[in-house]
Amino acid sequence: MKLTNKVIFITGASSGIGKSFAIKAAQDKCKLILTGRNIEKLQDVEKECVALGSEVLVVSMDVTSEDQIINAVNLAKDKFGNIDVLFNNAGLGFVDQLVNLKTLEIKTMIDTNITGMIMVAKYVLESMINTSNTKHIVFTSSIAGLTTLPQWSVYCATKWAITAFADSIRTELKKYNILITTVHPGPIKTDFFNRANINTNALGDYKNFTSPEDVANAVYNAIYKNNSKVIVPGYFKFLYLISKYLPFISKMTSNRFANQKYH
Ligand SMILES: NC(=O)c1ccc[n+]([C@@H]2O[C@H](COP(=O)([O-])OP(=O)(O)OC[C@H]3O[C@@H](n4cnc5c(N)ncnc54)[C@H](OP(=O)(O)O)[C@@H]3O)[C@@H](O)[C@H]2O)c1
């Protein structure tokens, strides 16, 4: 699908990958619904998008609140009519040995990365199934939604869950002409690591991590070509293939992360 002038609902639009995608879509004069919890940051993104010629609606929406999701979808429909694209992207991660992860951290990852994404998809769908034109839903999973890594256990579980969910609804939604993509970023230079209280010095090559703009470009391209799965950066496809077909090699390399100090 060509995205010019489309109505796009974005979660996690206040920073990182969601923000970069919003700015890219604004260059194509898309009508944007920017959602997140941090209104000031969303308004900064709004200013950038409006300056590029895009029409924007900013809505405060916590993906863990069903009421706030319903409210945001209703406001979006009132302003722009039906939604063409959902970039279901909001998420976070906490990393540690399972015994050290706090219950709140575990529940927040599950509520945000799984339940939140599913509920947003459910309510946005209602504004997609009544029209015959092509629509698209993109889920931000992770390379952690295709592989496993010690200390990232719960995060991996949430991202595998959303990969499976997206794969399941792909066939179910074909009859409504709704296409599904899962995006699987490797390490990306965003606030993700600060929010997770990860010391970025412990990540070694943080300076050279892939940019959120590269992910936004890859998502854009995937919607255009209707790719069902996109891995960014591209060379992470090899990691995925090794973990799938040569799991013993991938286990050997992942062993060194078992005692990695992240904090
Ligand atoms: N960075 C990476 O290395 C990496 C790798 C693979 C996958 N990912 C995934 O990419 C997605 C985007 O992350 P990012 O890297 O761009 O990190 P980021 O800069 O921290 O952005 C995360 C976004 O999610 C939003 N968010 C978090 N919890 C929310 C909630 N309860 N309700 C609504 N919005 C919420 C935040 O908005 P507010 O704070 O305004 O609510 C923010 O806009 C996430 O799903 C993440 O798991 C990231």
List per-residue pLDDT tens for the chain, 263 residues long.
Answer: 999 999 999 999 999 999 999 999 999 999 999 999 999 999 999 999 999 999 999 999 999 999 999 999 999 999 999 999 999 999 999 999 999 999 999 999 999 999 999 999 999 999 999 999 999 999 999 999 999 999 999 999 999 999 999 999 999 999 999 999 999 999 999 999 999 999 888 887 888 999 999 999 999 999 999 999 999 999 999 989 999 999 989 888 888 788 888 99
What pLDDT score was predicted for residue 207? 85
What pLDDT score was predicted for residue 220? 97
Residue nearest to atom 17 of ligand 1 (CA): 192
- The answer to whether the Cα torsion of 76, 36, 87, 29 is positive or negative is positive
Q: Write out the two tokens for 257.
A: 């992360």
What residues are paired with 182 via a beta bridge?
A: 139, 229
User: Spelled out in words, what is the top-level CATH class assigned to the domain 7-255?
Assistant: alpha beta
Indicate whether residue 190 lines ligand 1 (CB < 6 A).
yes
> CA 86, 89, 90: angle at the middle one, nearest 5?
125
Number of helices (H) and strands (E), helices first, in the chain?
A: 10, 7
Residue 19 CA to ligand 1 center (angstroms) comes to 10
Residue nearest to atom 46 of ligand 1 (CA): 91
Ligand 1 atom at shortest distance from the alpha carbon of 42? 40
Residue 177, burial from CB neighbour count under 10 angstroms (0-12, 13-18, 19+): middle
Residue 191, burial from CB neighbour count under 10 angstroms (0-12, 13-18, 19+): middle
Using CA atoms, how far apart are residues 168 and 160, in angstroms rounded to an integer?
12
Residue nearest to atom 2 of ligand 1 (CA): 188
Residue among 14, 45, 118 whose CB has most ligand 1 atoms within 8 A, to mutate: 14
What pLDDT score was predicted for residue 259? 84
What residues are paired with 232 via a beta bridge?
A: 185
Residue 191 CA to ligand 1 center (angstroms) comes to 8
Q: Which residues contact 206 (CB under 8 A, 6 or more apart)?
A: 187, 189, 193, 200
Using CA atoms, how far apart are residues 218 and 216, in angstroms rounded to an integer?
5
> pTM of this prediction?
0.98
Indicate whether residue 182 lines ligand 1 (CB < 6 A).
no
What pLDDT score was predicted for residue 253? 82
Give me the active site residues, please.
155
Residue 12 CA to ligand 1 center (angstroms) comes to 5
H or E element in which residue 64 lies:
none
Indicate whether residue 187 lines ligand 1 (CB < 6 A).
yes
Q: Write out the two tokens for 82.
A: 């039906």
Residue 257 CA to ligand 1 center (angstroms) comes to 23
Q: Write out the two tokens for 29.
A: 């004069």
Q: Characterize 55-79 residue by residue with b for buried, 16 or more Cβ atoms within 10 angstroms of its Cβ, and e for exposed.
A: bbbbbebbbbbeebbeebbebbbee
Q: Which residues contact 87 (CB under 8 A, 6 or more apart)?
A: 8, 9, 10, 11, 18, 21, 138, 140, 219
Domain spans of the chain?
Answer: 7-255
Q: What is the DSSP letter of 211?
A: P
Q: Which amino acid is at 61?
A: M
